Amino acid sequence: MPDLRKTILALTGASGQVYARRLLDVLERAGCELHLLATDNARRVACRELDLPELTTKSLLHRPCPRVHWHNNDDLFSPLASGSNPTDAMAVCPCTSHTLAALAAGLADTLLLRTAYVTLKQRRPLVLVHREMPLTAIDIDNMAALSRAGAIICPASPAFYHGPTTLDDLVDSVVARVAQLLGVDHDLPVNWQP
């Protein structure tokens, strides 16, 4: 599969920000032009879970990343809010149940929600990496509605059949699957054959 040129990565306030950091790393190394969005709660949770002073590309990856562009979640005038702005795919990682519910209801009052809405209506891949458990019937109904609308529901469920020995191995098993769903080649050593 060819690497995508323009990919959106959105972070919400669920636990599991390590998935977002690793996915950002993998997509950036694959040569994607990345557009990042983060909710206020995502910033708080990421700083706490990843022990960051603030949520920036430098604090996340510790290297220059000229193809990474941050967008303000309150800026509905961003080019990302328009279907005429071509992008290749979007991932929401991690995705809260709140964001899942808002997307299922068709809400678009933040840039993250509007961008996901545009991604769906333009029939581009939208991967939702849900990271909450247990699930309520409401979550399941929202997932079903979003799946029918074209979203790909990809729970952050690490695989174990490849013999993981570290936390990074478990994270990589999820990130490799998300990258695959986005159509991005990667070099993560994850074997999907049991």
Give the H or E element holding residue 91. Answer: strand 89-95
Question: What is the Cα Rg of the chain in Å?
Answer: 16
In the block, tokens 């994270």 appear at 171
* Nearest one of 9, 22, 15, 11 to 133, comparing CA atoms: 15
Q: What is the DSSP string of 131-158?
A: ---SPPHHHHHHHHHHHHHT-EE-----
What domains appear along the chain, each with residue ranges and CATH number?
A: 6-182 (3.40.50.1950)
Residue 190's pLDDT is 66
Closest CA to 132 of 164, 168, 157: 157
Count the Cβ atoms, other than its own, within 10 Å of residue 162: 18
Mean of pLDDT values over 60-86: 96
- Cα–Cα dist 134/56, whole Å: 31
| Span 29-51, pLDDT tens digits | 999 999 999 999 999 999 999 99
Note the pTM of the prediction, 2 decimals.
0.94
pLDDT at 165 over 50: yes
Specify the pLDDT at position 38. Answer: 98
Phi, psi (rounded to 5 degrees) for 189: -80, 65
pLDDT surpassing 60 at residue 147: yes
Query: Rounded to 5, what percent of the chain is helix, strand, coil?
Result: 40, 15, 45
